[in-house]
Amino acid sequence: MRTPLIAGNWKMFTTASEATTWARALLEDLASDPVRGVDLALHVPFTHLAPLAPILRDTAVALGAQDVSAHAEGAHTGEVSAAMLKDVGTRTVVVGHSERRADHGESDELVLAKAAAVMAADMVPVVCVGELEAERAAGRHEDVVVAQLRGSLAGLSPARADQLVVAYEPVWAIGTGRTATAADAQAMCALTRQVLHELFGETGTAVRVLYGGSVKPGNAAELFAQADIDGGLVGGASLDRDSYLAIARAARSNA
Ligand code: 13P
């Protein structure tokens, strides 16, 4: 059984002080009504990691970053290394998000190097893939995603399935309110799992595959009921505590 994972991605929203208040309130909500059988993570801006670490340490909520440098150290102004993230208590790191691929020209090769740096620092990369609207319209979505998966993952060597997470996020569904249908999302997550099997054998089959793109409380249960969708990478709805918890509870009811 794969434990569902509900991973928030706060992108460039909130201040660190807002985040600490938010996280304390989340823990109070969880204390009064725990979400058992579901793993939780929050991927926050770099500035929030150190203040959130003592609040989330030893709780059910993993502290996550949204990016990392592929370099170990050096003259790389503005970059943050995997060792630096690990040192402040980060447990998971999103790499290859479509916004970084689009806004910063990140290639599969770079995403692979970042994922490897995260794993080498004993944290879990959440590797993102997903096609553009025009690629889907042209019927190329499967080829695009398979190529991204091979390019961003081949060469990693997870010894255990819990050392890696993959998120399928169709770019046209991100922040648009246009969620993929549950059937389309399932088909792409099943394809993702096939590639994971090809690359990593049985270990790959057990890696968690998340769906991302306008996941909301109203569509979460149907998405998470699909055989190959092991939870969600949630943007906008993860900024609202009630929505985030409702989405987590939707995963629990399907676990
Ligand atoms: P939304 O949930 O806001 O569509 O964002 C999805 C996403 O990009 C998560 O990484």
Question: Residue 214: which CATH number?
Answer: 3.20.20.70
pLDDT > 90: percent of the chain: 98
Long-range Cβ pairs for the range 31-35 (8 Å, 24+): 34/60, 35/60, 35/245, 35/248, 35/249, 35/251, 35/252
Domain containing 169 equals 5-253
**Terminal Cα distance for the chain, rounded:** 9
Residue 17: its pLDDT value, please? 98
Residue 255 pLDDT > 80, yes or no?
no
Reported as a pLDDT band with limits 50, 70 and 90, residue 7 is: very high
Q: Which residues contact 111 (CB under 8 A, 6 or more apart)?
A: 95, 96, 101, 127, 151, 152
Q: Which atom belonging to ligand 1 lies closest to the Cα atom of 167?
A: 10
Number of domains in the chain: 1
Residue 85: its pLDDT value, please? 98
**HSE toward the beta carbon, residue 165, CA cutoff 13 A:** 30
| CA separation for the pair 19, 13 (Å, rounded) | 9
Answer yes or no: 197 catalytic.
Answer: no
SS3 state at 187 = helix
**Average pLDDT, integer, range 94-106:** 98
- Using the mean position of ligand 1's atoms as its centre, give its distance from the Cα of residue 200 in Å: 27
**Average pLDDT, integer, range 154-171:** 97
- Determine how many CB atoms are found less than 10 A away from the CB of residue 126: 28
**pLDDT digit string (tens) for 44-90?**
999 999 999 999 999 999 999 999 999 999 999 999 999 999 999 99
Answer yes or no: 169 catalytic.
Answer: yes
Residue 248: its pLDDT value, please? 98
The first and second tokens of residue 178, run together, are: 């246009």
If one residue of 10, 233, 239, 240 were mutated to test the ligand 1 pocket, choosing by the most ligand atoms within 8 A of its CB, it would be 233
Residue 95 pLDDT > 80, yes or no?
yes
Reported as a pLDDT band with limits 50, 70 and 90, residue 1 is: confident
Reported as a pLDDT band with limits 50, 70 and 90, residue 253 is: low
> For the residues of 190-244, what is the DSSP string, one character each?
HHHHHHHHHHHHHHHHTSEEEEESS--HHHHHHHHTSTT--EEEESGGGGSHHHH
- Using the mean position of ligand 1's atoms as its centre, give its distance from the Cα of residue 236 in Å: 6
**pLDDT digit string (tens) for 189-199?**
999 999 999 99
Taking CA atoms only, the protein residue closest to ligand 1 atom 1 is: 235
| CA separation for the pair 153, 19 (Å, rounded) | 32
Of 99, 131, 135, 169, which is the active-site residue? 169
- Determine how many CB atoms are found less than 10 A away from the CB of residue 78: 5
Residue 15 pLDDT > 90, yes or no?
yes
Report which DSSP code applies to 33.
S
Protein residues with CB under 6 Å of any ligand 1 atom: 9, 97, 169, 174-175, 212-215, 233-237
SS3 state at 35 = coil
Q: Tell me what the pLDDT averaged over the chain comes to.
A: 97
Of 97, 99, 106, 141, which is the active-site residue? 97
Residue 185 pLDDT > 80, yes or no?
yes
| CA separation for the pair 121, 143 (Å, rounded) | 31
- Using the mean position of ligand 1's atoms as its centre, give its distance from the Cα of residue 75 in Å: 32
∠ CA 28-29-35, rounded to 5°: 120
Q: Which atom belonging to ligand 1 lies closest to the Cα atom of 174?
A: 4
Reported as a pLDDT band with limits 50, 70 and 90, residue 254 is: low
Reported as a pLDDT band with limits 50, 70 and 90, residue 157 is: very high
Residue 101 pLDDT > 80, yes or no?
yes
**pLDDT digit string (tens) for 124-148?**
999 999 999 999 999 999 999 999 9
The first and second tokens of residue 231, run together, are: 């939870």
